[in-house]
Structure 1
Amino acid sequence: MNAQMLETLKTSRQFTLDVADAMPASKYGFKPVEQVWNFGELMHHIAYGIHWWEQNYIRMEETEWAPPAPERGKTAIRTALEEAYWALEQSVKGKKMDEAAVNGFHSTLHHIAHHRGQAVTYLRCNQITPPEYVY
């Protein structure tokens, strides 16, 4: 089970980083309407969300939702994404995944996909063709 989950995680990681890379650094402040996060904030939310979901639903360590101020700049945000995916990978590698942890893993991926889909829309608003989704 863990090998399949790690392969799925690898695909999610690559696609998320490809989406983050597709937006030029100068456009990380873009938001399609005033009421939503800008692109950088959205990508930061994905990174923080990975940590939060992993802690609460894979490691089963109750953690309050308390996101820090968003990272600034494309490089810092990309690094935060890489670190979040690395930590999640270590949890999957290092844990016997019972049913609750497997459900937590899939919930984490659903959260990522939900917000990554929003990020793809931000790319399209800027006439940027998003990377092709590979499953």
Structure 2
Amino acid sequence: MILQNLTQEFEQEVSNTRKLLAAIPEKDLGYRPSEVSWTMGELAQHIATIYYWYVGTFTQDVYDLAADHLERGDTNDIVATRAFFESNVEKARVALQSLTEEKLQLDWTMKVGERIVIGPVPRGIVARGFLFNHIYHHRGEMIVYLRATGNKVPGLYGPTYEDSNKGT
């Protein structure tokens, strides 16, 4: 039952992420709200990259980021970032389909070389925190970036403020 719910949420949220990435204009990819923040293009690419991490999370008991060489492309090319997102979503979908309820209960660890950065923790907990919630967090940041640059924010869970009578 948990796996069925995660799969349904995954599909719904892929659609929302796609809407958000579609709203990012090429002209604003270099926008950075502060010197310590990512640019809009870097943030978009990070969101797309998280979908790739579903593979290591769902198919490996120990996922070593240092051993996984992912070609990301140019953060100043939103078309390429959107294609990267779509490719990663397909890989994530296959990995998600390989899961069982039992595998969700098994411990999972993420490391970078010899340094453990997550875990060991049950894979189901990792799915919520490291994957799903991580994407939601960065999508929220992207909404702020879009508004700060004067761009329209798509409605992900209904109309946006700008779509209501208050915003017009």
- TM-score, normalization by structure 1: 0.85
Relative contact order higher in (CA < 8 Å, ≥ 6 apart): 1
Are 2:125 and 1:123 aligned? no
Q: Please give the TM-score of this superposition, normalised by the length of structure 2.
A: 0.70
Verify the 8 A CA contact 1:54 1:104 in the aligned structure 2: no
What corresponds to 1:13 in structure 2? 14
Mapped partners of 1:71, 1:37: distance in 2: 16
CA-to-aligned-CA distance 1:66-107 (integer Å, 9 cap, x gap): 775753201110111112222111111122132233222212
**Aligned-residue identity in percent:** 21
Counterpart AA for 2:39: N
Q: How far apart are the structure 1 equivalents of 2:53 and 2:41?
A: 18
Structure 1: segments with no counterpart, 5+ residues:
none
The equivalent residue for 1:63 is 64
- Which protein is bigger by CA-based radius of gyration? 2
**Gaps (5+ residues) in structure 2?**
106-121, 159-168
- Provide the aligned C-alpha RMSD in A: 2.2
Distance 2:157 2:142 in 1: 16
Partner secondary structure for residue 152 of structure 2: coil
Q: 2:93 is matched with which residue: 83, 89, 93?
A: 89
Alignment partner, residue 35 of structure 2: 34
Q: Please say if residues 58 and 98 of structure 2, whose CA atoms lie closer than 8 Å, have aligned partners that are also in contact.
A: no
Q: Alpha carbons of 1:94 and 1:53: their partners in 2 closer, same or farther (altered >3 Å)?
A: closer
Task: Find runs of 4+ consecutive structure 1 residues off by over 6 angstroms.
Answer: none
- Partner-residue secondary structure (3-state), 2:63: coil
Work out the number of aligned pairs and report it.
134
